[in-house]
């Protein structure tokens, strides 16, 4: 009887970091719904503008399309379930959905770095080899870069989820508002050596490659700018500023999330812990459309053109 009860119980996962806010849950629900709608509208709008406006059919803006698409993907993996849990005060999800959410959120995070990496390489070629840019960064190469980024990430984390799904759990309580593979593996009764080795290896691989490419690209850009005239420096600054800001925002968000997951014993208010854990999933999808939509003149002009044509 005990085994049967335990087996039935562990068909679901309890997300214990949700706090009971009473009637205030309607306020939080309304605020998060508005934020989600803004994220959906802003990212979808910029994707539509880039696809519709022929002057934006350049490698830089195609990479941005991939970035905005990933923001839609990542935020959709979090917000719907978050809103359901808040309004219904339910803290339990099915084990199947837990693994789907793990897959989506982890692939979103790695894809963000992959998109930022290919964008940094694009900026490097544009600034360091402006006369050979169209020969080096062809549309064919752009689509290959994007396709490889998505395929590599999806295949890698399909195996990660497969390994985690095989584990027998001793507990089903995760101290977060969404499913986390690291915390889930820690609940396992069975041997997790394969999961830990694979997870460490592919985390280094999945993050090491894009971060190395970003570091290499910016070292080359800095070297060129150091020996260039003021006009070249200003052009490099204007094109690289949104990218650097996006990279730092996302990296700090991921760092905060990792630290608060690993150091659970640190005294921290529950609300602050929740905000830190979802920062990289909420702020980045909102930050990128604002940063690129405001900073890049071509996108601003294309938006105005489309809006004026509709009036």
Please tell me the distance from the alpha carbon of residue 178 to that of residue 98, in angstroms, as a whole number.
8
Average pLDDT over every residue of 277-297: 87
- Residue 5: its pLDDT value, please? 42
Decide the pairing of beta strands 12-15 and 173-174. Answer: parallel
The answer to which of 78-82, 95-99, 152-156, 229-233 has the lowest mean pLDDT is: 229-233
- Residue 8: its pLDDT value, please? 38
Express each pLDDT in 120-179 by its tens digit.
999 999 888 888 899 999 999 999 999 999 998 999 899 889 988 888 888 888 888 899
**Domain 2-310: which CATH number of 3.40.50.1360, 2.40.10.10, 1.20.1070.10, 1.10.10.10:** 1.20.1070.10
Express each pLDDT in 262-280 by its tens digit.
766 667 777 788 888 889 9
Domain residue extents for the chain: 2-310
Residue 1 has pLDDT above 50, yes or no: no
Express each pLDDT in 2-34 by its tens digit.
444 444 346 788 888 887 777 888 898 999 999
Sheet holding 92-94, edge to edge: 92-94, 12-15, 173-174
- Residue 41: its pLDDT value, please? 93
- Residue 299: its pLDDT value, please? 85
Average pLDDT over every residue of 290-296: 82
- Residue 175: its pLDDT value, please? 85
- Residue 47: its pLDDT value, please? 93
- Residue 7: its pLDDT value, please? 41
Length of the chain: 311
Give residue 38's pLDDT band: very low, low, confident or very high (50, 70, 90): very high
């Amino acid at each position: 009887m005990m085994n049967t009860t335990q087996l039935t119980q562990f068909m679901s996962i309890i997300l214990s970091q949700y706090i009971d806010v009473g009637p205030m849950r309607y306020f939080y629900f309304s605020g998060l719904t508005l934020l989600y709608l803004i994220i959906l509208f802003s990212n979808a709008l910029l994707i539509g503008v880039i696809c519709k406006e022929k002057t934006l059919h350049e490698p830089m803006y195609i990479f941005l399309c991939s970035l905005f698409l990933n923001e839609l993907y990542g935020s959709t993996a979090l917000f719907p379930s978050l809103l359901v849990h808040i309004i219904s005060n339910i803290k339990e999800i099915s084990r199947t959905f837990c693994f789907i959410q793990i897959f989506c959120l982890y692939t979103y995070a790695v894809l963000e770095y992959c998109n930022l990496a290919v964008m940094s390489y694009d900026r490097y070629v544009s600034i360091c080899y402006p006369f050979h840019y169209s020969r080096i960064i062809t549309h064919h190469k752009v689509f290959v870069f994007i396709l490889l980024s998505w395929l590599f990430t999806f295949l890698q984390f399909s195996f990660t989820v497969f390994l985690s799904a095989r584990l027998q759990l001793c507990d089903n309580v995760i101290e977060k508002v969404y499913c986390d593979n690291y915390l889930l593996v820690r609940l396992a009764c069975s041997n997790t050596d394969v999961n830990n080795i694979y997870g460490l290896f592919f985390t280094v691989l999945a993050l090491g490659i894009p971060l190395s490419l970003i570091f290499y690209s910016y070292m080359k850009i800095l070297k060129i700018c150091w020996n260039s005239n003021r006009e070249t420096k200003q052009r490099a600054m204007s094109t690289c500023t949104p990218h650097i800001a996006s990279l730092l925002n996302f990296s700090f968000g991921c760092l905060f999330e990792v630290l608060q997951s690993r150091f659970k014993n640190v005294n921290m208010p529950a609300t602050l812990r929740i905000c830190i854990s979802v920062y990289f999933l909420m702020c980045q999808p909102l930050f990128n459309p604002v940063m690129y939509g405001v900073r890049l003149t071509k996108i601003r002009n294309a938006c105005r053109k489309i809006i004026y044509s509709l009036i």
